[in-house]
Structure 1
Amino acid sequence: MLNPDTLLAIDLPEVVQEVGWKDCIVYSLGLGYGSDPMDEEELKFVDETKLHAMPAMANVLAMAPHWMSRPGTTVDYTRIVHGEQSVRIVRPLPTEATLKAKTVVADVIDKGKGGLIVTERTIVDAATGEPFATVRQSAFARGQGGFGRAQTTPPLAAQEMPERAPDRSVTLATSPGQALIYRLSGDYNPLHSDPASARRSGFDRPILHGLATFGIACRALMLTLCGNDPARVRGQDGRFSSPVFPGEAIAVDMWSLEPGVAAYTARVPARDATVLTNGRFEYAA
């Protein structure tokens, strides 16, 4: 069973990361940018001569690596699944900088059949301390509930979905080898690269990283609602509901709620599977 007091008391070390243009390009390639080498709107995320950092890259910057797998956390890391993700962008991400962030355990919530572990970090310029983004995420510890602690922080992904047809929908392809590229941005979990590991986890083949799906949704939202301008992106929330297999197309359905705010879901049409729900996207209108 999770021990919430132990988790909330964990003091994780600050992570410092040198980010360069190659990191930005590798991240964008992992989201499928560059699939059309004649598309100038894609090239600005993969060509160093005109490079922009993709806002969703904040999700992988200055992360505390696999800290839940360390002895003494009371977490059975083999039963952890990604629950929700939330990112708020303060200013455009740099393509060259030294960044730092300190991950803190913000909440530990008893969900009955499991526990929800919420972490938060603010990514700042290591030299000036100026913030770029705040990232919050939750991990669901399956079969590790029953410790009786209620939620003390706001939900990460609570957007209600409109009961009407979407206002817009964009479908983006993924490639069979996409997870092998995305993992180069820092998540080397063999679930996404090794067929045997995937089978042990109950899948017949490796699955795409959840944060890759989240980033692909951001790509579709930014293209459709922001004119593909990363400087207009302000935030994104989403709840993971089903995995994506590399090679599957992802459809992102969008509902305009008010100027600068949209609700969204992401789905795999070929399997009629919703893969992201309770999505909210905020941008400069």
Structure 2
Amino acid sequence: MTHSLFQKMGAPPIDVAQVTSAPPVRTEVTWDDRDVRLYHLALGAGVPETDERELAYVYERHARGLAVLPTFGTVAGGTGGIGFQVFDLPGVHLDLAQALHGGQEITVHRPLPAAARATAVTHVPAVYDKGRAAVLVQESTLLDEDERPLLTQRNHIFVQGAGGFGGDRGPSDPTPVPDRAPDHLFDLPTMRQQALLYRLTGDWNPLHADPTTARTAGYDRPILHGLCTFGMAVKAVTDRLLRSDPTRVTGCRTRFAGVFFPGETLRLHLWHHPDGHGYLLRATAPDRDDAVVLSHAAITVR
């Protein structure tokens, strides 16, 4: 998902002290198996339609129960991403028009159920100073009805023109991929209408549907949501390396390094993590000379 932000008149874009000290925002979140099935279909699940492993993602009466990918948590409740309440927080004076969803991290505390009433608790633990830009880190923990954490996600929002305030630059880059051929290479086809389908999970940004908006942003046609490509990558690793068991995924992260167009092939380059508990990942678009789409990505497993 790509967003843009224009600074509101008469106020600095981010008051770091105010936004990082603001009390958490609590948002009620509900979902059912229809939401889960729609999300998986938007990732391309259900092909072939007779494969039992694929049916586990899309058929509510599956013998093993409905599988739920942890990345479903990013759209739980139909909000287009839990935790994107940052624009309503004290100290943030932005409106949607020019900012970038630069990265995503997810920590799984327990597997997501196929239906639930939950609460998203959101705050901003840090704003990093990158010079001309700032990276606002928004953390949201999804709690079940007993206030037990299900998952925690961190959205990294890149805001051009909001840096230079003398703050911390943030942590160094995570483990880089090895300088050798990948251990696994997967090619994933995508549908030309995939962005239109993924929008039904709650992200209505016209950049993913309206050709005029896309051209204004510099693209010849609408682009696919970054969270969709990331969800596809996590699903592929789950299916091909974890025996289609999403409960084995304990966490995942990525940077959204480049655009991806619906209908292209998504190529996953995977290396075994040095600690033996997961995979390092890079995703590219082979239709465009392997342009990088996802970088600094990792999936941790049990």
**Which TM-score applies when normalising by structure 2?**
0.87
Aligned residue runs from structure 1 range 255-270, under 5 A = 255-257=271-273, 258-270=275-287
Aligned counterpart for 2:254 among listed residues 238, 259, 269: 238
Aligned 8 A contact 1:69 1:76 in 2 = no
Aligned counterpart for 2:59 among listed residues 43, 47, 53: 47
Aligned residue runs from structure 1 range 145-160, under 5 A = 145-151=163-169, 154=171, 158-160=174-176
- Per the alignment, residue 31 of structure 1 pairs with 43
- Per the alignment, residue 96 of structure 1 pairs with 115
Aligned counterpart for 1:115 among listed residues 134, 150, 157: 134
- Per the alignment, residue 6 of structure 2 pairs with none
What is the CA–CA distance in structure 2 between the aligned matches of 1:201 and 1:269, rounded to whole Å? 23
Percent of pairs identical after alignment?
37
Question: SS where residue 17 of structure 1 aligns?
Answer: strand
Q: 1:36-58 deviations in whole A, cap 9, x for unaligned? A: 21222111101111211122112
Asked if 1:137 is matched to 2:155, the reply is yes
Query: What is the RMSD computed on CA atoms of the aligned residues?
Result: 1.9
- Per the alignment, residue 4 of structure 2 pairs with none
Change (3 A) 1:10 1:90: same
Change (3 A) 1:65 1:25: same
Give the CA deviation at 1:212.
0.5
What is the CA–CA distance in structure 2 between the aligned matches of 1:264 and 1:245, rounded to whole Å? 19
Structure 2: stretches of 5+ with no match in the other structure: 1-12
- Per the alignment, residue 228 of structure 2 pairs with 212
Amino acid at match of 2:34: K
Q: 1:170-191 deviations in whole A, cap 9, x for unaligned? A: 1111101111111111211111
What is the CA–CA distance in structure 2 between the aligned matches of 1:183 and 1:168, rounded to whole Å? 30
Deviates more, 1:60-69 or 1:30-39: 60-69
Q: 1:92-145 deviations in whole A, cap 9, x for unaligned? A: 1100111111111111111012110001111110x2111111111201012322
Aligned counterpart for 1:175 among listed residues 188, 191, 196: 191
Question: SS where residue 99 of structure 1 aligns?
Answer: strand
Aligned 8 A contact 2:249 2:301 in 1 = yes
- Aligned residues between the structures: 281
What is the CA–CA distance in structure 2 between the aligned matches of 1:108 and 1:81, rounded to whole Å? 14
Aligned 8 A contact 1:233 1:283 in 2 = yes
